[in-house]
Structure 1
């Protein structure tokens, strides 16, 4: 046996040798692992700048709240399927007497029959529930998209605040150095140097606050997209890209098809379907029975046929009908109130957006250039000895305040635009 196994083992090794050798490159370098290339591509995607369109796409495809809403719609499909099923038949067995010669055995098959269109009404109610679930999904998509838009521009503006604070620190540092040289030369008093150092320390504090706000804004953006913080490193976009101003005709058109209004109208339809179901239930179900009865004493079998139904003497489902009717009327009133409130909120957000856009245009056109030129002139005059350091601080404060006011106006404009998107559903500006 050993003499047979040894040659076979050697042959197997020689046959595997070329295969193993062919698996390795001829130059002796190791073979690249496919999983490493996949990991590298994933890392590259994480390091790529995050745009608004990519952030919205990530949120729409992977946000946990949207996944839960989709599962809710799928669950409502099961409710429709269940509502369309007829009631099950029942099988009954009955025996009279225990003695073999005199006992009687009855086997009965009963089938309830729904009358008055109960199954159709029940199915219609389940379908209306499914439509409400789909409307909830559409409203949630609009809300998630608006949250992403607002968080994205908040993060961009937080980056701009860090840039503004960094520039403020640089200006304060150069002013402090210039003031120290002039104090050493005896051209300024030590009080001016103290003021310059205080301004420098204040600029450092403002920079740390701006950096903390940027970190918080990035966390908020990660939460809005349903992704981890490490899923993006930098943001690709302009904080000053203003949303479009919707006109009255566009607002009226989108307002009539807003997700919340569609949902409220569907709630009225569902309440109406529930009322129709309760009206159908005022008719009692009929149960038809068919079976056989075997009597040992008579020595023969007999057919058993029966029909039964409850008598609607006391319970005619009148209380449930009244409840369903009042709930339908309440749903109609809620839909009307929702329409009034939504219109007021949309008009308020539109007015806010227009006001902020006008403010941004004025700041960009008049205030910011003037404040920048005034600061530059104050710095040149201070270098030439024509202005005092208080003039430089005042010009610097004016320039920085104008820039922060511009960033605040941008933040409020994007927030108003997000409120419009959240309520109207369709975006006012494509990313």
Structure 2
């Protein structure tokens, strides 16, 4: 058939429309390629990389460094000798009556307090004990920070995998809803089935939105810990799942008591309290002050006709060396409160050390039980996981062939979806239990 002018015009208009659409899509694709690099590319990090960054940048690591730095700065001048600066003394004695021009006494000297009881050395020891306490407190903070980092890493990995699962399941429910709607229009399915399929598809989309929000929260948490410039670009690589520690409870508890910094921390706090008590006791002892000076006495007399010297006056000047020694009387104990406080702190540290040992034993027992139980649950899920893809394919094929009705199809698809999510949750629960056991043992996760 020969095309008429009207049909040729319609074909030309349709061709222009398709060309304009292709041009619009090409422009959109070109615009998407111009997205800045930080937003166009994601940063995939391994656990080793995240742990290294957290050890240097996390809030816990920074707080540990600040505490140690402050303790070292405080201890830097604690053992300085002399503990007090020399005192320069001087004076003028104008004689009596006040302002008498014929007699004056001038004196100048220097005084120094002597550290005869070793107070400076005791202060230096107390300062070093504070540094030791600060370092162990920093070690505890670092382990807590790494435990938090491990939990954040596990949550981000789980959120990534859960988002991928719901993205795929959203497509599955959308295909079921689209097929049901087409069959309803063709009279093969009822309108009720089409409505229910659309509702299930909307529910899957809601789950997908929740997974996206959970991913954003996990990214923000990891971003704060490692000081990431753009947390939304963070991705983490999947870490292999290792079996739990095969050692028994007693061996694990013994290892924890050797490695946990909390055990050494309470010992260091006990030593620091005893050092403070020794410093307060020695600082209360009377420290003598030695002075060395020169005193000059000058006396002038006016000329007198009847004086033996004749008409001229006389001037007498005398210079003498002065050595002074002063010792304060220890009538009042000015450091009694400090000694009592240090003694109370030492008692508390000793008691808390025994309590810490029991807490460590309980923490290891709890973490070991949780790791074993979560590993058993994960092993069962891992045995089922390979067949879930097969089950999902069977559900879709059975519905497409008309062998399975809509309600059974939706119920089966939802069970498959929940099973996949539960596998991810079981994996995350086991990894968290392993991280908790590592923290209980005083090890890096």
TM-score computed with the length of structure 2 as normaliser: 0.79
Q: 1:354 aligns with which of 365, 369, 372?
A: 372
1:362-401 deviation per Cα after TM superposition (whole angstroms, max 9, x unaligned) = 11113x3455444433333323322211111121111111
Of 264, 277, 287 in structure 1, the residue corresponding to residue 266 of structure 2 is 264
Using the TM superposition, name which of 253-262 and 372-381 deviates more.
372-381
**1:253 paired to 2:250:** no
Name 1:295's counterpart in structure 2: 297
Aligned to 1:404: 421
Q: Which residue of 2 aligns with 1:202?
A: 203
3-state SS of paired residue (1:103): strand
Which structure would you say has the larger Rg? 2
Map Cα deviations across residues 34-66 of structure 1 (whole Å, 9 max, x no partner). Answer: xxxxxxxx979x855222212222222334553
Structure 2, unmatched stretches of 5+, are 1-36, 300-315
Contact 1:102 1:296 in 2 (8 A): yes
SS of corresponding position for 1:80:
helix
Equivalent in 325, 331, 334 of residue 343 of structure 2: 325
- Counterparts of 1:179 and 1:325, CA distance in 2: 80
Residue 256 of structure 2 contacts residue 360 of structure 2 at CA under 8 Å; is this kept in 1?
Answer: no
The CA RMSD over aligned residues, in Å, is: 2.7
In 2: Cα distance, 1:422 partner to 1:225 partner: 19
2:405 to 371, 375, 388: 388
Larger mean CA deviation between 336-345 and 240-249 belongs to 240-249
Alpha-carbon distance between aligned partners in 1 of 2:100 and 2:190, rounded to the nearest angstrom: 126
Alpha-carbon contact 2:253-2:360 (below 8 Å) kept = no
Query: Aligned equivalents of 1:48 and 1:176: distance in 2?
Result: 36
Aligned equivalents of 1:411, 1:336: Cα separation in 2? 34
* CA–CA separation in structure 2 for the residues paired with 1:392 and 1:382: 6
User: Structure 1: how far apart are the matches of 2:329 and 2:287?
Assistant: 10
Distance 1:101 1:414, change over 3 A: farther
Please tell me whether residue 91 in structure 1 is matched to residue 88 in structure 2: yes
- 1:99 and 1:348 map into 2 onto residues whose CA distance is 90
Unaligned runs of 5+ in 1: 1-41
- Greater alpha carbon shift after TM alignment, 353-362 vs 276-285: 276-285
The whole-number CA distance in structure 1 between the counterparts of 2:266 and 2:87 is: 41
Do 1:112 and 1:285's aligned partners in 2 also have CA atoms closer than 8 Å? yes
* SS, match of residue 286 in structure 2: coil
Asked if 1:115 is matched to 2:133, the reply is: no
Q: Conserved in 1, the CA contact under 8 Å of 2:58 and 2:224?
A: no
Higher relative contact order (CA 8 A, sep 6+): 1
The question of whether the paired residues in 2 share the 8 Å contact of 1:291 and 1:304 is answered with yes
1:73 match: 68
Work out the CA distance in 2 between the residues paired with 1:227 and 1:259.
Answer: 29
CA distance in 1: counterparts of 2:87 and 2:65, whole angstroms: 37
Q: Give the aligned partner of residue 59 of structure 1.
A: 54
1:306-344 deviation digits (Å, cap 9, x = unpaired): 211112233274443233212210122223223333332
Contact 2:149–2:222, Cα closer than 8 Å, also in 1: yes
Of the three residues 332, 336, 353, the one matched with 1:335 is: 353
- Greater Cα shift, 341-350 or 199-208: 341-350
Contact 1:259 1:424 in 2 (8 A): no
Aligned residues: 385
- State the SS of the aligned residue for 1:338: helix
> Which 10-residue stretch deviates more, 152-161 or 407-416?
407-416
Aligned equivalents of 1:47, 1:397: Cα separation in 2:
31
**Structure 1 residues 187, 199: CA separation in 2 closer, same or farther (over 3 Å shift)?**
same
Instruction: Name the counterpart of 2:8.
Output: none
Distance 1:369 1:68, change over 3 A: closer
Structure 1 counterpart SS, 2:110? strand
Q: What is the Cα deviation at residue 427 of structure 1?
A: 1.8
